[in-house]
């Protein structure tokens, strides 16, 4: 089983650990033995931000379109 060794207290942790079980220091950015998933976390965070931004843009465009349609309907009814 792969382990991560804490750079501060040298305690062995599970390879999936993000913080040390002994001292609580971060294991994600350290260059310790075992698999390091900090790059994957950064990529996922970046993709989440892009997806979130796209959702806001789409929501605003749909809202603007609905307001435009409502104004056109009001204009048709008034004339």
Mean pLDDT of 47-57: 77
- With cut-offs at 50, 70 and 90, classify the pLDDT of residue 70: very high
Task: Calculate Rg over the CA atoms of the chain.
Answer: 25
Expressed in angstroms, the distance from the first to the final Cα of the chain is 76
Residues with Cβ within 8 Å of residue 49, at least 6 apart in sequence: none
Q: What is the pLDDT of residue 21?
A: 87
Contact 15, 34 (CB under 8 A): yes
Tokens coding 21: 């079980």
Is residue 12's pLDDT more than 80? yes
- Which tens digits make up the pLDDT trace of 19-33? 888 898 888 754 444
> Tokens 């789409």 sit at which residue?
58
Full-model pTM: 0.40
Q: What is the pLDDT of residue 44?
A: 62
Question: CA 39 to CA 36: how far, in whole Å?
Answer: 8
């Amino acid at each position: 089983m792969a382990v991560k060794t804490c750079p501060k207290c040298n305690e062995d942790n599970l390879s999936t650990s993000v913080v040390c079980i002994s001292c609580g220091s971060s294991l994600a950015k350290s260059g310790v033995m075992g698999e390091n998933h900090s790059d994957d976390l950064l990529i996922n965070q970046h993709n989440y931000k892009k997806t979130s931004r796209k959702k806001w843009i789409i929501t605003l465009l749909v809202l603007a379109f609905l307001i435009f349609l409502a104004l056109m309907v009001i204009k048709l009814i008034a004339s």
